[in-house]
Chain A
Amino acid sequence: MCTGIVETAEVSGSGKGPQGWFKLEQVNVSYDHPSDAQLEHALNIDFVNQNEGPSARVAVELDPASARKLVEAILAALSRGEA
């Protein structure tokens, strides 16, 4: 199904795309059809800069269990780093 499920957030940082590093301004997180992962649905994360065109994108497509592991890993690293 095409779920249309997407969450967005403003972010700042850098991402490395096909043209090299670029400034990130937004992350789009969706639960929908992936382009490459052999799954019917995936947790898709796109770090983008809308001002630099569609190719300014760092993309990952994860199965839901992997996405949860990523969330835990991020929170754990943040917790240790900010302690």
Chain B
Amino acid sequence: MLEILQYGFMQRALLAGMIVGILCPLIGIFLVLRRMSLIGDSLSHVALAGVAAGIFGGIYPLGTALIFSVGAALAIEQLRKSYQQYAELAIAIILSAGIGTAVVLISLAKGFNVDLFGYLFGSITTVRKEDLWLITGLGILIVLSIKLLYKELFYIAFDEEGARLAGIPVKGINHFFILMIATTITLSMRIVGILLVSSLMVIPVATSLQVAKSFKHATILSVIFAQGAVILGIFISYYFELASGGTIVLLAVAILLVVLIGKKAARWVKGDRLKNIH
């Protein structure tokens, strides 16, 4: 058995990481294709305010973060109705409100402490048993929901008006989807950190879009790329004592670069071959 797997905290970190590595790209693919990538950033900043409130009030921080981000997700949906022509404005308003609340709460708690840093940048050594239960339980619920609503979410992402006219209950599914985003962000904080969680939602998807041959293919590939980055990232961050969030995201970027270069090289080789034929 590998040394890393002998410790209970590393087993928890790896398991939690693998669940997060499935959830983030599964939610991320719909976010990216609906051009809603910034929602991830916005909700993660609100989750920071939730963590600060939890630490300040002595309550379980993941629980308060979940309540804050779900509340913010619902507020975004309401604000989007008030600013129909400026959908991104709703996201910017909630992001500002989130940071503002976080800063005030942190100053009330007399500045940062180690625990808050863990939530900001991701810390695999601090995944507690109750965190793992929450991540596993809600994670299974989200994966099942996406499996069941896969065709509806796909059609809404491709053509929202068309989906409505096909009879899909777009409004209800949109509300449920934004709740899934908020939950995924909260669950992923422990591993990749608040500041980097939206990267894990976006980068593996961006990589998959370079090579995907269908929507299903893009979904599967983005989960594979995210898993690669998370598992390798946890191992590297353990052996080299690096922040897990940063390591995972940098690995996701490295995978993207490899795919981009590989694609260019393949095109170049193909072009060269065609030249030789002519």
A and B co-occur in one complex: no
- Chain B interface (Cβ < 8 Å from any Cβ of A): none
